[in-house]
């Protein structure tokens, strides 16, 4: 399993340069590193001095690089889905659809990138994966996709089971699916083994994204006020998908005390302007990436005091919406939705109130 690092910030702040310097730093420490680029343009390859492709290639000692190509990623993922369908379905109907055709659907490029990262992560070929993403809300939606899919599945299953349609279909669902598929579906075990495998996959990816020992993001900004506010917004939004933000990297900036106040309690590192292909100064200025787990956790649940604490920097009470549905609490902030599955001790208890304190939204039960 690899340490996965990515960078968030406004376009033009030098995220790609920081990603390359990070990959070089980790490789120089003896780690096996994969640098993965989301943008299919030539920029990343030009900075590395190589021509990148959709397959990892050696750049230097301990460092490989790959450039995600959405069409090829979708085709590979679609072939796996077809194999799963052939395993469980007597009459496959996906064989006439090609993976490239899915590229027109919104969000499929993000889903393909997440699938690729998972593949490289589980290959045990790398100690670290540096993901040069778009660095904006699209990246956060990608990393939050497993949680969102899991939530919709739980809601859909419950709504269907409780609806008049679900009750009407219940006696017929198992014999019909037994006639078509190799498994018997019912509302009690909706989907059988294929869905169990899918849920297990979602849980594994969610645990990877929300574990600061496994996945962390760094904010990249300059001294420009717009860049600073964009980074603060993305900082708060990252908490909503459970992604730990471990620090701030000021590219070609000063890292002033005023900037430190805006991002407290995050550590701030200032990286000098890159002079040609002389990477060492930038590498030396980067933070210690092994300390990511020391940052505030996005969610803390204290059963004894009956409190759920969400770290939501850059937001205030007016920007947050709170809702409770059964055993879950839903928090909306920064165009992101976070669904918190309550422990058994707090389930069934209504939320008594919520308040902001020192950057935390504290919900009491």
Residue 167, pLDDT above cutoff 90: no
What length does the chain have? 365
Looking at 263, 288, 313, which one is the last position of a domain?
288
Q: How many structural domains compose the chain?
A: 2
What pLDDT is attached to residue 102?
A: 45
Q: Are residues 10 and 34 in the same domain?
A: yes
Q: Are residues 22 and 63 in the same domain?
A: yes
DSSP track, 85-139:
HHHHBSS--STT--GGGGGGSTTHHHHHHHHHHHHHHHTT--SEEEEE---SHHH
Pairwise CA distance, residues 274 & 198, whole Å = 44
pLDDT digits (tens, 9 = 90+) for 204-245: 777 888 888 899 999 999 999 999 999 999 999 998 888 999
129 within some domain:
yes
Rounded mean pLDDT, 71-82: 56
Q: Are residues 121 and 235 in the same domain?
A: yes
What pLDDT is attached to residue 182?
A: 44
Q: Are residues 107 and 246 in the same domain?
A: yes
Highest mean pLDDT out of 4-13, 40-49, 110-119, 343-352: 4-13
Looking at 259, 288, 317, which one is the last position of a domain?
288
Residue 303, pLDDT above cutoff 70: yes
Q: Which residue has the higher pLDDT, 354 or 36?
A: 36
Average pLDDT, the chain: 79
Pairwise CA distance, residues 17 & 286, whole Å = 12
Pairwise CA distance, residues 6 & 129, whole Å = 9
pLDDT digits (tens, 9 = 90+) for 117-130: 988 999 999 999 99
78 within some domain:
no
Q: Are residues 9 and 60 in the same domain?
A: yes
Confidence of residue 48 (pLDDT cuts 50, 70, 90): very high
Rounded mean pLDDT, 262-284: 88
Confidence of residue 283 (pLDDT cuts 50, 70, 90): very high
What pLDDT is attached to residue 300?
A: 87
Q: Are residues 16 and 52 in the same domain?
A: yes
What pLDDT is attached to residue 215?
A: 93
**Percent residues over pLDDT 90 in the chain:** 35
Q: Which residue has the higher pLDDT, 123 or 256?
A: 123
CATH number at residue 311: 2.60.40.790
Pairwise CA distance, residues 109 & 157, whole Å = 27
Q: Which residue has the higher pLDDT, 199 or 4?
A: 4
Q: Are residues 38 and 111 in the same domain?
A: yes
Q: Are residues 273 and 338 in the same domain?
A: no
Q: Are residues 29 and 137 in the same domain?
A: yes
Q: Are residues 273 and 224 in the same domain?
A: yes
Q: Which residue has the higher pLDDT, 266 or 78?
A: 266
Confidence of residue 99 (pLDDT cuts 50, 70, 90): very low
92 within some domain:
no
What pLDDT is attached to residue 198?
A: 58
CATH number at residue 35: 3.40.50.300
Residue 169, pLDDT above cutoff 70: no
26 within some domain:
yes
Q: Are residues 346 and 235 in the same domain?
A: no
Looking at 257, 288, 319, which one is the last position of a domain?
288
Q: Are residues 118 and 23 in the same domain?
A: yes
What pLDDT is attached to residue 151?
A: 64
Residue 75, pLDDT above cutoff 70: no
249 within some domain:
yes
Pairwise CA distance, residues 355 & 362, whole Å = 5
Cβ proximity of 208 and 196 under 8 Å: no
What pLDDT is attached to residue 208?
A: 86
Beta bridge partners of 191: none
Residues 6+ apart with CB under 8 A from 239: 245, 298, 310, 311, 312, 313, 338
Q: Which residue has the higher pLDDT, 304 or 142?
A: 304
CA-wise closest residue to 321 among 330, 335, 310, 332: 332
36 within some domain:
yes
Its domain, for residue 24, covers 3-73+101-143+206-288
DSSP track, 166-208:
HHHHHHHHHHHHHHHBSS---STTTTHHHHHHHHHHHHHHHHH
Pairwise CA distance, residues 75 & 244, whole Å = 31
């Amino acid at each position: 399993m690899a340490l996965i690092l990515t960078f968030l910030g406004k376009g033009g702040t030098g995220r790609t340069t920081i990603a390359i310097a990070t990959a070089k730093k980790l490789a120089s420490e003896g780690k096996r590193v994969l640098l993965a680029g989301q943008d299919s343009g030539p920029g990343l390859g030009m900075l590395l001095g190589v021509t990148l492709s959709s397959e990892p290639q050696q750049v230097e000692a301990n460092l490989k690089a790959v450039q995600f190509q959405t069409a090829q990623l979708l085709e590979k993922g679609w072939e796996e889905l077809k194999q799963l369908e052939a395993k469980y379905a007597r009459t496959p109907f996906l064989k006439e659809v090609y993976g490239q055709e899915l590229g027109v659907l919104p969000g499929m490029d993000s889903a393909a990138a997440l699938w690729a990262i998972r593949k490289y992560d589980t290959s045990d070929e790398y100690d670290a994966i540096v993901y040069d993403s778009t660095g904006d809300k699209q990246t956060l939606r990608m990393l939050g996709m497993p949680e969102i899919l899991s939530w919709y599945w739980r809601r859909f299953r419950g709504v269907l089971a409780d609806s008049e349609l679900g009750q009407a279909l219940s006696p017929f669902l198992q014999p019909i699916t037994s006639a078509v598929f190799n498994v018997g579906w019912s509302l009690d075990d909706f989907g059988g083994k294929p869905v169990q495998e899918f849920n297990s996959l979602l849980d594994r990816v969610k645990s990877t994204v929300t574990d600061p020992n496994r996945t962390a993001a760094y904010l990249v900004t300059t001294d420009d006020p717009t860049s600073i506010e964009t980074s603060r917004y993305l900082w708060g939004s990252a908490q909503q998908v459970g992604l730990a933000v471990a620090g701030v990297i000021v590219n070609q900036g000063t890292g002033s005390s005023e900037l430190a106040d805006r991002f407290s309690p995050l550590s701030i590192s200032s990286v000098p302007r890159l002079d040609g292909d002389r990477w060492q100064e930038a590498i030396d200025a980067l933070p210690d990436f092994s300390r990511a787990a020391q940052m505030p956790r996005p969610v803390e649940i204290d059963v004894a005091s009956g409190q759920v604490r969400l770290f939501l920097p850059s937001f205030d009470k007016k920007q947050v919406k709170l809702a409770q549905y059964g055993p879950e609490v839903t928090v909306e902030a920064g165009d992101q939705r976070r669904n918190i599955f309550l422990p058994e001790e707090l389930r069934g208890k209504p939320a008594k109130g919520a308040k902001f304190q020192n950057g935390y939204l504290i919900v009491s039960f």
